[in-house]
Amino acid sequence: MVFILSQLPSAVCSNKNKQSRAVAVNSGVPQGSVLGPLLFLLYINDLPNRVTVPIRLFADDCVVYSRIETEHDQVNLNNNLQRIKDWCEEWQMSLNTEKTVFMTITRKKAPLDYNYQIGNAFLKRVQNYKYLGLWFTPDLRWNTHIDNVCSRATKALYSLRRNLYTAPSDIKCLAYKTLVRPIIEYSKIVWDPYTKTNCNKITKYSDLVRDLFLINIADIILLLNSVKKLDWIVLNLGRGLSV
């Protein structure tokens, strides 16, 4: 490992089988290396010890959050952002303040306001934020996420319908389960709808699945004989059901 980190020479190869001279790399690891992810985790492992508020790490992203009840809580959170900046500078990493945003999660009509900043850069306040594939909003409702999921799944569904118009039913089912259903089922245990509006959106999407794929007599007969063979996803009243 010492050799990989301090003595492994690196060179650049072109698509014409030409190679530059080898040079010593004093920091970092080769991209795509087996040890790269492990070494990166070791590299950032001490970051949570530098802050006094909860922090969650995932790959090269981190989320800092804190319960804000007073102005002192706001100042404390902002000070922790500065500690993260100092940690990055200590380990020769740059923090992209343009991609660093904050969200106030509350249902109060007049929440405490604060302009958080890192160094001299003020952070942008956002009304929705995508984290680990889920869309979060200040009221912690899932309207935005479900709208986004249904939109993406519908586009994928129409693409399958266009390319598999005359394909056998079993091929359609396999394509749907592989390429479309994972979109709408991702993290369903977190956002499983409980409001009537969102339940109707999912049910409407489920009806669209049937309408798009039942395009010939064979499909209709298959559905009438045994609905379970299609194994479509139907979310009814917030509960995940396969029919």
Q: Pairing state of beta strands 239-242 and 233-236?
A: antiparallel
The Cα-based distances of 126 to 23, 51, 137, 239 in angstroms read 44, 23, 9, 30
The pLDDT value given to residue 51: 93
Task: List the beta bridge partners of residue 58.
Answer: 61
Q: H-helix or E-strand containing 87?
A: helix 71-90
Q: Read off φ and ψ for residue 3, nearest 5 degrees.
A: -65, -40
Q: What one-letter code names the amino acid at 195?
A: T
pLDDT tens profile 127-162: 999 999 999 999 888 999 999 988 998 888 888 888
**Domain ranges, ordered by start, for the chain:** 2-9+24-136, 143-242
**Spatial distance between the Cα atoms of 73 and 8, rounded to a whole number of angstroms:** 47
pTM score of the predicted model? 0.74
Q: Give the CA angle between residues 59, 188, 171 to the nearest 5°.
A: 100
Angle between helices 196-213 and 143-163 (to 10 degrees): 0
Segments of 120-213 assigned E as strands: 121-122, 124-125, 129-131, 134-136
If DSSP codes are grouped into helix, strand and coil, which group holds residue 56?
A: strand
pLDDT confidence of 214, banded at 50, 70, 90?
low
The pLDDT value given to residue 81: 94
pLDDT tens profile 73-108: 999 999 999 999 999 888 888 888 888 999 999 888
| Alpha-helical segments (H) within 164-195 | 169-175, 181-185, 188-191
Mean pLDDT over the full length of the chain: 79
Task: List the beta bridge partners of residue 24.
Answer: 9
Q: What one-letter code names the amino acid at 92?
A: Q
